[in-house]
A and B are shown apart, each in its own frame.
Chain A
């Protein structure tokens, strides 16, 4: 019950601090720009597509534009997760505002879970609305229907929730500034490792593949994005990639491994448990 009270309090805070309003305005601006850019490029696609048939052209542009749009949303959701949670606990401790709250009959675990629930809900809503709007726009403009929008969106939500949980855990043990530095570095590291893994795959370099896999285990956010992106790619695009051994470096060209999906679900749950334990033992 107290968990829900804290979650509600956290949502009230986001509304009161105009976080939701600012996020909504910027998101609308992003979507507007995407729709405008996509429409302009699509209507000039005959000049760019060369010998491709209409169907091939639609699939290629639909795939590329949807993937690029979702990639941007994935980044924005990652940043949102980090900004929301980087000081979720540490800044409350530093300011002293938490003392009166935790003097109440409230378990620290309830406080952490309430915070996490509210942030995860906000991020889930953000990714759902943004990805849904973007894919709808892509379909209306180019008649391109993404093969599996639900799986793609759910995996994107998971990627952002992974980052949220890393940041929330960091907030229980580090100062806000130190946590920000660490979590942004991990975010960048995961992205870099994804690129290394793709290049390693293209060069058949096992060491590079291993590095990519190891970092993906440490911070699976980029690996989850690659899994999500696979469900956006059209079969025609995938056939072309398979034939030419070329593709976009930032997407996954094979479905996510079941083990990776399981790890990606267990990962935030484990970190959330760790956050509860470390915060529970901390002197305030």
Chain B
């Protein structure tokens, strides 16, 4: 079972003007009883990008998606899809949606589900007939389209959910946890599918807990916590702002550490091998081991300077690796560090 990633021609007349944001929210607020789920949520998703929408459980991600689809009404604020008021029929024509729980009418066959959604999306009988086998093949369900959904595995159900989301060639695809039921191969395939959608100019709004997935596929992300966006930007900016250098050397002493501290903050000193000679603050290896010093740097371009500092003091440099913090580390800092 594998995804077919060949690009499809877009339906004539459905492409959004490139200058209009695919999603735009301003001051979006949602209150349920005494609980405020969204506070002043302002967000812009540019057309053609893969946008990651991250946040812990209860942060307001699914509520935001539901407001964009008109399933939930905002208490205040404004949301637009491709320049159209979110929830309007015209806006919904341009959107494909994979719900978080991917529950579908399981008495239908996979092809039957696409037929039903294709009718609702306004595709002609001819278009539906042509596209059903194409899309089923594209999501890796070739040969299973005529089986009832109740006989599908979780992964297959998620795949048919993806199929119904992209069936009518939307301008914007909202994917709520699209890989939660898939095995590693399936996840890889879905990442490739998302990239191929981007190549076709389709905007993908990816709501996911799987940060490593987001990191691999998204152009920009927004991190939301307790109903507010706590950080948003290009993925490189978010991760690059907190990059590290990992310096592996034969030994370390106070002189070297002091010199390194002039260039960057020393985060950690880790002895990789046994055989350390006792010697106060100076740690010197007796055997073939090494010491790794981790530096926090604002600018990874200082790497040559660090190398020069190490070698000038007579140390052997085994390695110098720029290390970006993972999205997970950034996420944990933001949602637990009190910025929200």
Taking the closest CB of chain B, its distance from the CB of A103, in whole angstroms, is 4
CA distance A99 to B161 in the complex (A): 12
Report if A9-B71 is in contact (Cβ < 8 Å); known contacts: A97-B105, A100-B97, A103-B92: no
Number of chain A residues close to chain B: CB under 8 A: 22
8 A Cβ contacts from B276-290 to A: none
Q: Which residues of B contact A105 (CB under 8 A)?
A: 89-90, 92-93, 120-122
The answer to whether B99 touches A100, judged by C-beta atoms less than 8 angstroms apart, is: yes
Cα A86 to Cα B120 in complex, Å, equals 24
* A2-B120, A16-B107, A97-B105 known; A104-B99 Cβ under 8 A: no
Given contacts A103-B69, A104-B92, A105-B92, contact A96 B103 (CB under 8 A): yes
Whether A17 sits at the interface, judged by CB under 8 Å, is yes
Bound-complex Cα distance A17 to B104 (A): 15
CB-CB under 8 A from B154, the residues of chain A are none
* Complex alpha-carbon distance, A59 and B108, angstroms: 51
Determine if A100 and B119 form an interchain contact, defined as CB atoms under 8 angstroms apart.
no
Chain B nearest CB from A96 CB (Å) reads: 4
User: With an 8 A cutoff between CB atoms, is A95 at the interface?
Assistant: yes
Whole-angstrom CA separation of A2 from B120 in the bound complex:
6
A102 at the interface (CB under 8 A from B): yes
Bound-state Cα–Cα, A9 to B120, Å:
11
A13 and B121 CA atoms in complex are apart in Å by 20
Q: How far is the CA of A99 from the CA of B99 in the complex (A)?
A: 7
Partner of A283, one of B73, B93, B95, B107: B73
| Secondary structure dominating the interface of A | helix
A236 within 8 A of B: no
Q: Are A101 and B120 in contact (CB under 8 A)?
A: yes
Residues A97 and B103 in contact, CB atoms below 8 Å apart: yes
A106 within 8 A of B: yes
A203 within 8 A of B: no
Tell me, yes or no, whether A284 is within 8 Å of chain B by CB: yes
A127 to B305, CA, bound (A): 89
User: Can you spell out 15 A-B residue pairs with CB atoms less than 8 angstroms apart?
Assistant: A2-B120, A5-B120, A9-B116, A16-B107, A96-B99, A99-B66, A99-B69, A99-B97, A100-B98, A100-B165, A101-B117, A101-B120, A103-B95, A106-B120, A283-B73
Given contacts A99-B66, A104-B117, A105-B92, 20 further A-B contacts (CB under 8 A): A5-B120, A9-B116, A12-B108, A13-B105, A17-B107, A96-B100, A99-B97, A99-B99, A100-B99, A100-B164, A102-B71, A103-B71, A103-B95, A103-B97, A104-B121, A105-B89, A105-B120, A106-B89, A281-B73, A284-B71
Q: Which 3 A-B pairs have CB atoms at the shortest separation, nearest pair first?
A: A104-B120, A103-B97, A96-B103
